[in-house]
Every structure is written in structure tokens, then in C-alpha cells.
Amino acid sequence: MKRVYPIVLLLVFGMMNPCTLTAQHFDPKHIHSIEITSGCAPLRTTFEGDASYLDTSWSDKGQNYSVLWWPSINLAYSLAVDELWDIHVIVNYSCQRIRVKQYKILEEGDPHPVVDWKSAPIASWKQTIRSSFAVMADFRLKWFRRDWCTLYSALGIGFPFVPMKPAVTPYVTPIGFRAGGKHFYGLIELNLSSASTLGHAGIGYRF
């Protein structure tokens, strides 16, 4: 129990500290922010555009593939317009690794050959890593504001840059949470975009 008291006192002191009393409110002297976040893998269309044809093209060759997604990395710049609105620009890097298994083809020559999917694969190898970059922009509406935290929602658009067919993707944040001091803060978002399909979290610096 004694170990709890220092933590409680630290939290109370942090909330009473004059430097953090208005840390999450609009400050005309500190309207710029840089954020670094990481999270779940992005939308599939970020890599493949309209990917419906891929499953068929792989199976016609007697191949079965599985995808390993790596966490995405995002670097963002945020401009606080006023107490309610932020303009947010994000650059995203994502990558995936594909493991391919080759099965025996029983009948060749047809456009859709017969493949022995029930037997063990005759070969297995790894494809090269596929990378994707995307640029996104959105507007944040800060609909709940307190001295030390902010809740917000965001809506925008993303433009992935991939070797395959490009796609325009949405940037939707139903809810985001930001908390911290005058300069440094943490954030976590539920997000659907070229940055993630579930959510991402990270840190930011306001200046």
C-alpha cells in the first residue's frame, strides 16, 4: 500500500502543475505538432487496389499463399486551427511478407487446372517483402476537451503509392484519445485508413 502513495501524489502533482493545467487546450503560441504512431496493418487495398483477382490467379497456378502483415509506421504533422479543429497530414509506411506453398497440379493445360489441395505442398518459399507508402490528410474535430486530455474524431482521405493498381482510401477515426502535458503527449485512435485497419497509438510533441 505504501508504494501506491507516491504514484497518487505524482498524479495529483501533475494535474495541479501550472504547466499542465491548460496543456490540451488551444494555445496560439503552440499550434504545431509532430506525431509518431504505429498500429495494425492497413487496408488491403493499400497494397493491391482491387485485389479480387489475386486469389484466382494464385490458385490457377496451384499455389496457396498466406500474408504476414507488419505494423505500420506513421509520421504526422498537425496544425491546431482553433479550439475545435486540427488539420492533420500523415505519411505512412507499411509492408507485408507473403509465404507461398506450391501444390501438385493433376491436370495441366486448362485455364483452371485441377490441383491436389488435399496432399501436402511439394514446395514452400518466401516471396520478397512488399512495401507501401501513403499520404493522408484529415480534419480532426475535438469534441471533448479537458485540461489534460482531448477526445476527437477525424475524417479524411488517403493516397497510397504502390507498384500495383493505385487506390484512394478513406481516413476515418470514429474516436481518438490524446493526453499529456504542454509539449509531450500520447495518443491512441480507432482508425480505418491506409495507416491501419483497427487502430494505432504513439507519441506527439507540440511546439
pLDDT tens column, 16-70 = 444 444 556 778 888 999 999 998 877 655 555 444 445 556 666 777 777 777 8
pLDDT at 7 over 50: no
- Of the pLDDT bands very low, low, confident and very high (cuts 50, 70, 90), residue 105 is confident
The one-letter amino acid at 132: S
- Of the pLDDT bands very low, low, confident and very high (cuts 50, 70, 90), residue 114 is confident
DSSP of 30-61, one letter per residue?
A: --EEEEEEEES---HHHHHSSTHHHHHHHHTT
The confidence score (pLDDT) of residue 79 equals 96
Question: Between these two residues, 122 and 112, which has the higher pLDDT value?
Answer: 122
C-alpha span between 22 and 120 (Å, rounded): 63
- Of the pLDDT bands very low, low, confident and very high (cuts 50, 70, 90), residue 11 is very low
Q: How far does Cα 144 stand from its chain's mean position?
A: 23
Provide CB contacts within 8 A for 163, sequence distance 6+.
Answer: 130
- DSSP label at 196? -
The confidence score (pLDDT) of residue 6 equals 47
Place of cell 498537425: 78
Question: Between these two residues, 77 and 11, which has the higher pLDDT value?
Answer: 77
Mean pLDDT for all residues in the chain: 78
* 120-165 per-position pLDDT tens digit: 777 777 677 777 788 999 999 999 988 889 999 999 998 887 655 6
- The CATH code of the domain that includes 23 is 2.40.160.20
pLDDT at 204 over 90: yes
The one-letter amino acid at 91: V
Structural domain that includes position 43: 4-206
Rounded to two decimals, the pTM is: 0.72
Closest CA to 74 of 42, 48, 98, 32: 42
Q: What count of residues does the chain have?
A: 207
The confidence score (pLDDT) of residue 162 equals 66
CA–CA–CA angle 133, 134, 136 (5° rounding): 160
Overall domain count for the chain: 1
